[in-house]
Structure 1
Amino acid sequence: MNILFVLAHPEPTSFNGQLVATGKDYFEAQGHHVEVSDLYALDFDPVEKAANYPDRINEEEFAPLAEQRHAYKEGILAPEIQQQIEMLERADLVIFQFPIWWHSVPAMLKGWCDRVFVSGGLYTSKMRYDNGYFRGKRAMCSVTSGAPGEAFVAGGRGGELDQILWSMQFSLYYMGFDVLPPHASFGVSGHGYSYVADDAFEKQFATLKQNWIERLSSIQSDTPMTYPGWDDWDDLGQPKMANA
């Protein structure tokens, strides 16, 4: 397989960074080809703005989607965006590695979606969901949190993981990916704040890394999550069964 890790954490030695390194080593040992897109190391600009389009189709008003369509059609996307798209196109499996921040994805990753999932090129009004550009490819979110896993339940302090990741995972499905169930590493805390004693860190991290390797070892047989498709909606985008 061709595998792409998209890392969204500002510290390369963080546990998120370690999980990417562990995953890369594991897959390469199995004979797979691995690429890593470390967004912070690349100094990726997540902010969609007029300055990203020096050759504008409309100089009077900035309409992001129109400028994306124009740039894609004319082959003048920013080099960093074209680079990300080409890596996605090469990949059979894309793993997004990031911490849960404020019950969501980091702003860096949200902005990456805003800029890289280019309107008119990677999606259109009909090229979405189960007709999406990346159909046949798989994607997965691997996340970390300082809170223990027991907190991520209905009514818990952490909130339900499925709700936290719904927007990101549904966006991947929107782009045509088969979305695999997420992998979560809980109880990963920064220096000076932890749910475990300092002397338990190494043992805990070793266990989490082993869990990660075990997940990756079976990932080719993972069953994607189920989402509704075009045949399940009426012309207004509502469930057909609701109107039956």
Structure 2
Amino acid sequence: MNILFVLAHPEPTSFNGQLVAAGKEYFEAAGHNVEVSDLYSLGFDPVEKAENYANRVNESEFAPLAEQRHAYKSGQLAPEIKQQIEMLERADLVVFQFPIWWHSVPAILKGWCDRVFVSGGLYTSKMRYDAGYFRGKRAICSVTSGAPAEAFVAGGRGGELDQILWSMQFSLYYMGFDVLPPHASYGVSGHGYSYVSDDAFEKQFATLKQNWIERLSTIQSDTPMAYPGWDDWDDLGQPKTAKA
């Protein structure tokens, strides 16, 4: 397989960074090809703005989707966007590695979606969901949190993980990916804090990395999450009611 890791953490030696390094080592040892898109190290600008487009279709008003469509069709996308799209096109599996910040994804990753998933090129009114551009490719979100797993339940102080990740995962499905159930590493913020001793944290750290490798070892047989498709909606996008 061709594997792409998209890393959204500002510290390369962080646990998120180490999970990417461990995953890369595992896949390469198994004979797969691996690329890493470290968004912070690349200095990726997550802000969609007029300055991203050298030759505007409309100089008087900035309409992001119109400019994306024009830039894609005229072959004038920004180099960093072309680079990200080309890596996605090469990948059979895309692993999004990030911490849960403010009950969501880091801003750099949300902005990555805003800029990289180009309107008129990677999606259109009909090229979405189970007819999406990346149909046949797989994607998984690997996330970390300082809170324990027990907090991520209905009514818990962490919130339900499925709700936290819904927007990101549904966006991936919107683009045609087969979205695999997420992988979560909990309780990883103890290092450098007073929550646990360094020795205890290192032991936990090793266990969490091993859990990640075990997940990757079976990922090719994982069953994607179930989402409704075009045949499940009416012309208004509402669920079709079952016939009596």
TM-score band w.r.t. shorter chain: over 0.9
TM-superposed CA distance for 1:29, in Å, is 0.2
* RMSD (Å) for aligned C-alpha atoms: 1.2
Verify: 1:11 aligned to 2:11, yes or no: yes
Please state whether the residue corresponding to 1:119 is helix, strand or coil.
Answer: coil
1:8 touches 1:106 (CA, 8 Å); kept in 2? yes
Provide the C-alpha distance between the structure 1 equivalents of 2:131 and 2:195, rounded to a whole number of angstroms.
44
TM-superposed CA distance for 1:197, in Å, is 3.0
TM-superposed CA distance for 1:194, in Å, is 5.2
TM-superposed CA distance for 1:235, in Å, is 0.3
When the two structures are superposed, what TM-score results if normalisation uses the length of structure 2? 0.98
Verify: 1:136 aligned to 2:136, yes or no: yes
TM-superposed CA distance for 1:196, in Å, is 2.9
2:144 touches 2:188 (CA, 8 Å); kept in 1? yes
| Aligned equivalent of 2:53 | 53
Verify: 1:66 aligned to 2:70, yes or no: no
**2:81 corresponds to which letter in structure 1?**
I
| Aligned equivalent of 2:197 | 197
Provide the C-alpha distance between the structure 2 equivalents of 1:12 and 1:213, rounded to a whole number of angstroms.
19
Structure 2: 5+ residue stretches without partners = none
Query: Is the alpha carbon distance of 1:67 and 1:126 closer, same or farther for their aligned partners in structure 2, counting shifts above 3 Å?
Result: same
Please state whether the residue corresponding to 1:59 is helix, strand or coil.
Answer: coil
Deviation sequence 1:96-153 (CA, Å, 0-9, x none): 0000000000000000000000000000000000000000000000000000000000
| Aligned equivalent of 1:79 | 79
Provide the C-alpha distance between the structure 2 equivalents of 1:190 and 1:36, rounded to a whole number of angstroms.
26
Provide the C-alpha distance between the structure 2 equivalents of 1:158 and 1:243, rounded to a whole number of angstroms.
40
Query: Is the alpha carbon distance of 1:15 and 1:56 closer, same or farther for their aligned partners in structure 2, counting shifts above 3 Å?
Result: same
Structure 1: 5+ residue stretches without partners = none
Please state whether the residue corresponding to 1:189 is helix, strand or coil.
Answer: coil
TM-superposed CA distance for 1:174, in Å, is 0.0
TM-superposed CA distance for 1:54, in Å, is 1.4
| Aligned equivalent of 1:223 | 223
When the two structures are superposed, what TM-score results if normalisation uses the length of structure 1? 0.98
Deviation sequence 1:141-198 (CA, Å, 0-9, x none): 0000000000000000000000000000000000000000000000010544354333
1:127 touches 1:133 (CA, 8 Å); kept in 2? yes
1:28 touches 1:34 (CA, 8 Å); kept in 2? yes
1:148 touches 1:195 (CA, 8 Å); kept in 2? no
**1:210 corresponds to which letter in structure 2?**
Q
Provide the C-alpha distance between the structure 2 equivalents of 1:46 and 1:36, rounded to a whole number of angstroms.
17
| Aligned equivalent of 1:32 | 32
Provide the C-alpha distance between the structure 1 equivalents of 2:162 and 2:204, rounded to a whole number of angstroms.
24
Matches within 5 A, 1:204-243: 204-241=204-241
* Percent of residue pairs bearing the same amino acid type: 90
1:147 touches 1:187 (CA, 8 Å); kept in 2? yes
Structure 1 segments of 4+ aligned residues over 2 angstroms from their partners: 190-199
Provide the C-alpha distance between the structure 2 equivalents of 1:203 and 1:16, rounded to a whole number of angstroms.
16
| Aligned equivalent of 1:165 | 165
Provide the C-alpha distance between the structure 2 equivalents of 1:15 and 1:192, rounded to a whole number of angstroms.
12
Query: Is the alpha carbon distance of 1:69 and 1:128 closer, same or farther for their aligned partners in structure 2, counting shifts above 3 Å?
Result: same
**1:151 corresponds to which letter in structure 2?**
A
1:146 touches 1:194 (CA, 8 Å); kept in 2? no
